[in-house]
Chains A and B, each alone.
Chain A
Amino acid sequence: MLKVAIIGCGKIADQHAQQIVHLPGCSIVAVCDREELMAKQLQQRFGIADSFANAQEMMQRTPPDVVHITTPPQTHYAVGKLCLEAGCHIYVEKPFTMNYSEAEELIRLAARKGLKLTVGHNAQFSHAANQMRKLVADGYLGGAPVHMESYYCYDLGDPAYAKALLGDSYHWIRNLPGGLLQNTISHGISKIAEFLQGDAPHVIAHGFTSQMLRSVGETEIVDELRVVIDDGNATAYFTFSTQMRPSLHMLRIYGPKRGLIMDETQQTLIKFRGARYKSYLEQFLPQWSFAKQYAESALGNMKKFVKADFQSEYGMRFLIREFYHSIVENAPVPIPYREIRLTSRIMDEIFAQLSSQKIHKESSTERALVQHS
């Protein structure tokens, strides 16, 4: 029986606990939060044996095999290091760490200790994402990916989130170097990283504050991002938006012969053939193929729903199960470390560019003001 602990008992910890309790061969033995009350509420609601306000104490008194780290991102590195040094495998919520060097250090430490780690990129393990991975691995694209487009949108319209974020100048998200983006874009970036071949891609990023946020007086939060990525073999566009509708969570991937479109929200995977029909048939026939694929997708989703295999957090459950399996069977981890490194590296580059754009913008404004006066 795998002994599991959770450090950080906020909202996301609930989702972890809800998935873990349904998995066989494991049990949550302890939870920990610096705020004792938060640790206790999670403990009581899930009937967990112990709760702690100090992670080191938890490691000593109830040594777990695996620790889920669901604390704010600024603490992931320190808590991850503590757990690895205590001999625990770690599942770290996204974003994995604050930057590439921290990610690298944790990966090296895990390797040195003979432990495993993973990151909560659960969106990569939904039914549609798993199906896409399999098709790409089976050569459906007709070769290595040529180009990708990843959309990860975030509806700031959610009043609870927007209120918490905008209303509280001390909110932990505001204290992340990449702000809101740092807490959200890794889902969309990791989807690209999974299919890139190079380890040091060229990145061009452009970010800005949406008109909506500017209209309510917000100027610091960058909530619109466009990125171009080129690793020499494949290119990718990444779009993060709080304003565009529909609010897409989508990956389009094109190979030399065929393409795939995976819609995360609708859980649909659509195949695009590369060849064209002759003459006007191209305008008459492909639509039938798409109609058939959409119909099959709807029926497939319903079938999974009927079989109770369509939980909203299916991806998280799948990832946790695969990670535990990799620990118990000493099998490969579900998310290769190369992918974790690459995601961190791309994110570092994006934030560095956004930061220099901000400095440039501020100094331009200052210059303009000086000239004007």
Chain B
Amino acid sequence: MPTNYIVNNKDLVLITGSNGFIGSSVVENLLKLGYANLRCFVRPSSNLMKLESILRNYPQARVEILAGNLLSREDCTKAVKETAVIYHLAAGIEKTFPGSYMNSVVTTRNLLEAALGTGRLVRFVNVSSFAVYSNWNIRRGDLLDETCEVESHPMERAEAYAYAKLKQDQLVMDYGKKDGLPYVIVRPGAVYGPGTRSLTARVGIDTFGVFFHLGGGNQIPLTYVENCANAIVLAGIQPGVEGEVFNIVDDDLPSSRTLLRLYKKRGKSFRSIYVPYSIFYLLCWLWERYSKWSQGQLPPTFNRRRCATYWKGNLYSNRKLKDRLGWKPGVSFAEASRRYFEFVKEIA
């Protein structure tokens, strides 16, 4: 373990959402790096099989599994006790705006209030998402990086998850300004790996039994789960990055067309219909208009902002991640996709 990290291997590290797809990989990554004092916060209903199988490989590590609900301030107080670093991955993936908001923003507020009260916190890593960005004012093919604007019209995009994550990021930044919270925000792109059952929506959507390929030749901001977890871990321990935002994408990003072809060939075969961006954008505009005219008879699920966010097509960079966190993707796209497609084939 390099000596310049802000915490040593005996400091207590809390991981919320530690049993999730990314969370369990973060736990494994921390253990691999030698962090031997972890507290894994899980939902009471969680199936802990995956997490427990990881922990079995590190019998010497002191890992506490704490079941609770971040909506409970009492549970948050228990969770943050003595912690030096918090990796906050627990997220509210719900369809409704209030549900998503409550399980992302209210939970984060509870956690932050509790954490700041301990006086021991040296880093709070807020795991956000690419979904918070807006490419509305960026041209097709331009670079979308950490300097780009976040969504300013989340309600028009009608995406509860993006709205909640946006508000969660704002809350964390506010605590940074107001209370000096030593935070880092990480925004993973489309995380994939064994465990991801479907293709990212950036490739297309499966609806009414048909897969519409909407990504065309767009670059897909993929990040393999282990690479992503490693970037998240580094965000919690590297010095001098407080208040920074990092996008997480791998090297060798494939195009949507390539990814779909590989998926069908090596994972699961299915029929797809290609719909050019301009046509889909027009359909989204019509849907949006109809939704408004009909007073919500059809919800504005398809709309121009959402269409642009997912299928307009931009380029992505991991420059900042490499420069500031010293991150390198440990698993190449060739290897990562091989593992992923094997999983897809198995479940198919």
A contact set with B: CB distance below 8 Å: 9-11, 13-14, 18, 22, 35, 37-38, 41-42, 45, 160, 163, 166-170, 305, 308, 310-312
Whether the pair A38, B101 counts as a contact (CB closer than 8 A) is: yes
Q: Is B155 on the interface with A (CB-CB < 8 A)?
A: yes
Whether the pair B98, A42 counts as a contact (CB closer than 8 A) is: yes
Find chain A residues with CB under 8 A from B95 CB: 160
Find chain A residues with CB under 8 A from B43 CB: 163, 167-168
Tell me the chain B residues, 4-53 only, with Cβ under 8 Å from chain A.
Answer: 43-46
Proximity bits, B96-122, A CB within 8 Å = 1, else 0: 111101100110010000000000000
Find chain B residues with CB under 8 A from A38 CB: 98, 101-102, 106
Whether the pair B105, A308 counts as a contact (CB closer than 8 A) is: no
Find chain B residues with CB under 8 A from A22 CB: 295-296
Within the complex, the shortest CB–CB distance from B74 to chain A, in Å, comes to 10
Which of these, A41, A166, A168, A169, contacts B101 with CB under 8 Å?
A: A41
Q: What separation, in Å, do the CA atoms of A335 and B155 have in the docked complex?
A: 34
- Sorted nearest first, the 7 A-B pairs with minimum C-beta distance are A167-B45, A308-B294, A22-B295, A11-B96, A41-B101, A311-B297, A11-B98
Question: Which residue on chain A has the smallest CB distance to residue B164?
Answer: A41
**5 examples of A-B residue contacts, CB within 8 angstroms:** A10-B99, A35-B106, A41-B97, A42-B98, A160-B94
Whether the pair B98, A18 counts as a contact (CB closer than 8 A) is: no
Which of these, B72, B101, B105, B106, contacts A170 with CB under 8 Å?
A: B72
Answer whether A160 and B99 are a contact pair too, CB < 8 Å, given A37-B105, A38-B106, A41-B167. yes
How would you classify the secondary structure of chain A's contact residues: helix, strand, loop or mixed? helix
The tally of residues in B whose CB lies under 8 Å from a CB in A reads: 24
Whether the pair B98, A9 counts as a contact (CB closer than 8 A) is: yes
B contact set with A: CB distance below 8 Å: 43-46, 69, 72, 94-99, 101-102, 105-106, 109, 155, 167, 293-297
Which of these, A14, A45, A308, contacts B297 with CB under 8 Å?
A: A308
Within the complex, the shortest CB–CB distance from A56 to chain B, in Å, comes to 23
Which of these, B72, B94, B295, B297, contacts A305 with CB under 8 Å?
A: B297
Which of these, A11, A35, A166, A308, contacts B99 with CB under 8 Å?
A: A11
Question: Which residue on chain B has the smallest CB distance to residue A14?
Answer: B98
Find chain A residues with CB under 8 A from B105 CB: 37, 41
Whether the pair A18, B99 counts as a contact (CB closer than 8 A) is: no
Q: What separation, in Å, do the CA atoms of A41 and B155 have in the docked complex?
A: 11
Q: What separation, in Å, do the CA atoms of A166 and B167 have in the docked complex?
A: 28
Answer whether A310 and B44 are a contact pair too, CB < 8 Å, given A38-B98, A41-B105, A45-B97. no
Whether the pair B45, A166 counts as a contact (CB closer than 8 A) is: yes
12 A-B pairs besides A9-B98, A168-B69 with CB distance below 8 A are: A10-B98, A10-B102, A22-B296, A35-B106, A37-B106, A38-B102, A160-B94, A160-B99, A166-B45, A168-B44, A170-B72, A308-B295
